Structure 1
Amino acid sequence: MNIQDILAGKPVTGLPMGHYIDGCFVQGSSGRMMDSFDPGRGTVFAQFAAGNATDVDAAVASAREAFETVWRKTPAAERARILLKAAELIRANAKRLAIVETLDCGKPLNEALGDVNGAARSFEYYAGACDKLQGDTFPLPHGYLGYSVYEPVGVTAHIIPWNFPISTTARGLAPALAAGCTVVAKPAEQTPFTALLLAELLSEAGLPDGVCNVVTGTGAEVGAPLTTHPHVDQVTFTGSVVTGQKVMRSAADNITRVVLELGGKSPVVVLNDCDWEQTLTGVLGAIFENAGQICSAGSRLVIERGIRDRFLEELVARTKTLTIGHGLRDPQFGPVNSQEHLSKVAGFIDRARERGAEILTGGAITADPETGQGWFYEPTIVADRPCDDELVQEEIFGPVLTVQVAEDAAHALELANDSKYGLVAGIYTQDISNALSLASEIDAGQIYINEYFAGGIEVPFGGNKFSGFGREKGLEGLKSYCKVKSVAARIG
Structure 2
Amino acid sequence: MPTEYTNYVGGQWTESERGDTFDVRNPADTDEVIGTYQASTEADVEDAIETAVATQGDWAGTPGPERGRILRDTGEALAVRKDEATETLVREEGKTRSEAAGEVQRAIDIFRYYAEKSRDLGGTSKASSAPASELYTKREPLGTVGLITPWNYPIAIPAWKLAPALAAGNTVVIKPASQAPSMTRIIFECLDKAGLPSGVANLVTGSGSEVGAPLAAHDEIDGVSFTGSTSVGTAVAQSAADDLKRVQCEMGGKNPTVVMPSADIDSAVDIVGVGAFGTTGQSCTACSRAIVHEDVYDEFVEAITDYAESLEIGPGLNDPDMGPHVSRGELDSTLEYVDIARDDGATLQTGGNECTGDEYDGGFFVEPTVVTEVESEMRIAQEEVFGPVLAVVKVSDFEEAVAVANDVDYGLSASIVTQDLTEANRFVDAVEAGVAKVNEKTTGLELHVPFGGYKDSSTNTYREQGDAGLDFFTATKTVYMNY
Q: Please, what TM-score do these two structures have when normalized by structure 2?
A: 0.96
Q: C-alpha offsets along residues 55-78 of structure 1, whole Å, 9 cap, x if unaligned?
A: 111111121122122x11111111
Q: Which residue of 2 aligns with 1:467?
A: 457
The one-letter code matched in structure 2 to 1:218 is S
SS at match of 2:451: coil
* Distance of 1:200 and 1:16 partners within structure 2: 15
Q: Which runs of 5+ in 2 are unaligned?
A: none
**Aligned positions of 1:22-421 closer than 5 A:** 22-45=10-33, 46-69=35-58, 71-143=59-131, 144-367=133-356, 370-421=359-410
Separation (CA, whole Å) in 2 of partners of 1:102 and 1:248: 31
Distance 1:257 1:315, change over 3 A: same
Once the two structures are superposed, residues 63-98 of structure 1 have per-residue CA deviations (whole angstroms, 9 ceiling, x without a partner) of 1122122x1111111111111111111111011111
Q: CA–CA distance in 1 between the matches of 2:387 and 2:360?
A: 22
Structure 2: which amino acid aligns with 1:324? I
Amino acid at match of 1:382: V
Shift of 1:454: 4.7
1:258, 1:243 → 2: CA distance? 13
Aligned to 2:478: 486
SS in 2 for 1:289: helix
Change (3 A) 1:405 1:27: same
Amino acid paired to 1:467: S
Q: How far apart in 2 are the matches of 1:157 and 1:241? A: 18
Percentage of matched positions with identical amino acids: 37
- Equivalent position of 1:5 in the other structure: none
CA distance in 2, matches of 1:98, 1:157: 26
User: Which residue number in structure 1 is paired with residue 8 of structure 2?
Assistant: 20
**Stretch of structure 1 that moved more, 455-464 or 364-373:** 364-373
How many residue pairs get aligned? The number is 478
| Contact 2:266–2:303 (8 Å) recurs in 1 | no
**What is the CA-CA distance between 1:225 and the residue it aligns to?**
1.0
Structure 1 CA distance for aligned equivalents of residues 4 and 424 of structure 2: 48
Are residues 142 and 75 of structure 1, via their aligned partners in 2, closer, same or farther at CA, if it must alter by over 3 Å?
A: same
Cα distance in 2, alignment partners of residues 35 and 28 from structure 1 = 15
Distance in 2 (alpha carbons) for counterparts of 1:483 and 1:49? 34
The structure-2 alpha-carbon separation of the partners of 1:426 and 1:16, relative to structure 1 and needing over 3 Å to count, comes to farther
Letter of the structure 1 residue corresponding to residue 446 of structure 2? G
Q: Give the equivalent residue in structure 2 for 1:3.
A: none
1:461-485 CA-to-partner distances (Å, cap 9, x unmatched) read 0011100122111111111111000
SS at match of 2:287: coil
Deviations 1:227-262 (A, max 9, x none): 111111110000111101110121122211111101
Contact 1:325–1:368 under 8 Å retained in 2: no
Question: 2:277 and 2:224 mapped to 1: Cα distance?
Answer: 30
The one-letter code sitting in structure 1 at the alignment partner of 2:199 is G
Is 1:477 equivalent to 2:469 in the alignment?
yes
Q: Is the 8 A contact 2:28 2:360 kept in 1?
A: no
The alpha carbon displacement at 1:277 in A equals 3.1
Check whether the contact 1:368–1:374 (CA below 8 A) recurs between aligned residues.
no
Cα RMSD of the aligned pairs, angstroms, is 1.4
Structure 1 counterpart of 2:38, which letter? A
The separation in 1 between residues aligned to 2:168 and 2:126, in whole angstroms, is 23
Query: 1:88-118 CA deviation, whole Å, 9 max, x = no partner?
Result: 1111101111111112211111111110000
Secondary structure in structure 2 of the residue aligned to 1:284: helix
Q: Which runs of 4+ in 1 moved over 4 A?
A: none
Q: Please give the alpha-carbon distance, in whole angstroms, between the structure 1 residues aligned to 2:395 and 2:164.
A: 41
Give the match's secondary structure for 2:296: helix
Partner of 1:6: none
Using the TM superposition, name which of 359-368 and 387-396 deviates more: 359-368
Query: In structure 1, what is the Cα distance between the partners aligned to 2:346 and 2:415?
Result: 24
> Are the equivalent residues in 2 in contact too, given 1:381–1:400 (CA < 8 A)?
yes
Q: Distance in 1 between matches of 2:162 and 2:53?
A: 16
